[in-house]
Amino acid sequence: MKKELLMASALVSTLGVASVAQAVTATMAGSMKVGAEFESADDSTTDSNQVHDQSNFNISLSETTDGGTTISTSFEIVDEGTVSADDDNAIKLTFTDGSALELLNAGNAAGTHVVAVPGAGGEQGITGTSVNQAPGDVDFGTAATVLGVEWHSAADFLADGLSMSASFSTDSGAAKAAAARLENSWGVGATYVTSAGDTALTIGGGIGAGEIANLNTQASADKSGFNIGVSAVTGDLTVGLGYGDGDTFVSSTAAGSNREVDGSVLKAGLSYVTGDITLALGVTSGEAKDGAFGTPGTSDDSSDSTSASVTYAVASGVSAVLGYTTVDRANDGASTTNGGSAWYVGATMSF
């Protein structure tokens, strides 16, 4: 009995030591946005206003092994009326040579190298309809399942200023249902950073593709595309341009209601910082043809928007923003009543 008690004590002591072992390094960041939006829709729709109360809290975790490999991940809690957690984050291994490997929820490398195009601040926007399939992001043709990996090169890979990534994902085991789903994907992307006189240039883009299936049958549609972009920074002025083209799909649980979409989108923007004020302007023009699987569409959906904002740095971590957006839309070549304009005035506190 005495021996058993000693063994039990040793086990409890061991567990106790394990429970207070050195923890990984954690850093946190977040913000709180509060503001009012005023929407003026087309004549057939009632004008509206609403208060945006949005908060997010991000925690990043990392630790370095004795061999020099850094293991990291992160998660985010977002409250935009309904609390939700973003747990689609990979486990990332960063090696001593600067290269990295992401495991699970890794994403598509074609989207990793999308060049950031300046755009207006604020939470203003005009709600569209589900029948309009015009894309708004240049990487709309890329996606990945959760069972994926992505490799990232070190900086200055093959040439000064060049970095590259490659990814692959496979069937996630999603239920075989009438709703179309992504089965697998691949992607490659690259970013090149250089300078021209006083201007810092960033050029990036990628290409990716994936197969779609519904029930147990591979669909005739696919999800694929490419994107390319450039950003130029000269002093306090930043100018950016991005373009994406490809195919995507709309998933529906109604039999025969899945849609294939062939689209493209162009984004351009600029921002200028003067003292505590940041001025920003952005335009987006997207178009698409959609049809039932196996029957490509022939008429264009379109969505064209212009946004502008003025952001004032009130204090460290505190900014006030005034933003405006105007949107024009058409569905199957016919003008719709889903356009309009919106104003936003609010403040953001970040840490």
pLDDT, tens digit only, all 351 positions of the chain = 444 434 434 433 444 444 445 688 999 999 999 999 888 876 556 778 888 888 888 889 999 999 999 999 988 887 765 555 555 678 999 999 999 999 998 999 999 999 999 999 888 877 766 678 888 899 998 999 989 999 999 999 999 999 999 999 998 777 777 888 888 999 999 999 999 889 999 999 999 999 988 776 777 778 899 999 999 999 999 999 999 999 998 888 776 788 889 999 999 999 999 999 999 999 999 999 988 888 888 888 899 999 999 999 999 999 999 999 999 888 876 766 578 889 999 999 999
Please tell me the predicted confidence (pLDDT) of residue 70. 94
What DSSP line would sit under 168-224, residue for residue?
EE--------SS-EEEEEEEEEEEEEEEETTEEEEEEEEEEEEEEEETTEEEEEEEE
* Alpha-carbon dihedral 264, 230, 270, 32, rounded to 10 degrees: 80
What DSSP line would sit under 240-302, residue for residue?
EEEEEEEEEEE--SSTT--EEEEEEEEEEEEEEEETTEEEEEEEEEEEEEEEETTS---SEEE
Given a contact cutoff of 8 angstroms between Cβ atoms, the answer to whether 107 and 144 are in contact is yes
Please tell me the predicted confidence (pLDDT) of residue 268. 97
List the beta bridge partners of residue 217.
214
Distance CA 189, CA 287 (A): 24
* Confidence (pTM): 0.82
Distance CA 296, CA 242 (A): 26
Q: Which CATH superfamily is domain 30-350 in?
A: Porin (2.40.160.10)
Given a contact cutoff of 8 angstroms between Cβ atoms, the answer to whether 54 and 82 are in contact is no
Q: Where are the domains of the chain?
A: 30-350
Q: In the chain, how many H helices and how many E strands?
A: 2, 18
SS3 call for 323: strand
Q: Determine how many CB atoms are found less than 10 A away from the CB of residue 350.
A: 13
